[in-house]
Amino acid sequence: MSKYIIDISYHNGVVDLGKAKKYIAGVVARCSYGWSSSNIDKQWDNNAKQANELNIPLFAYHFCYARNEEEAKKKLN
């Protein structure tokens, strides 16, 4: 059986990684978003805690987006 790496965030609601564990090889979870790392994903703590408790490899990402050309050229602080 193939195992998958899944991408999860607040937009997926509350994910039960215990139910998914036998099907997944890892989790890529959004930890923050926008132009500030202080915009923490509302499910980050839950997703990270579950992955760590279940010994599922966890990878995190910051989702950054530009609303216009000027923002696209700007560096994230």
Please state which architecture CATH assigns to domain 4-73: Alpha-Beta Barrel (3.20)
- Digitized pLDDT (tens) for each residue of the chain, 77 residues in all: 899 999 999 999 999 999 999 999 999 999 999 877 689 999 999 999 999 999 999 999 999 888 888 877 876 55
Contact 47, 29 (CB under 8 A): yes
Measured between alpha carbons, how far is 7 from 71 in angstroms, rounded to an integer?
A: 25
Can you give the residue ranges of every domain in the chain?
4-73
Please give the distance of CA 22 from its chain centroid, rounded to a whole number.
19
Does pTM surpass 0.85?
no
**66 DSSP 8-state letter:** -
* Residue where the block lists tokens 């700007």: 74
Contact 50, 17 (CB under 8 A): yes
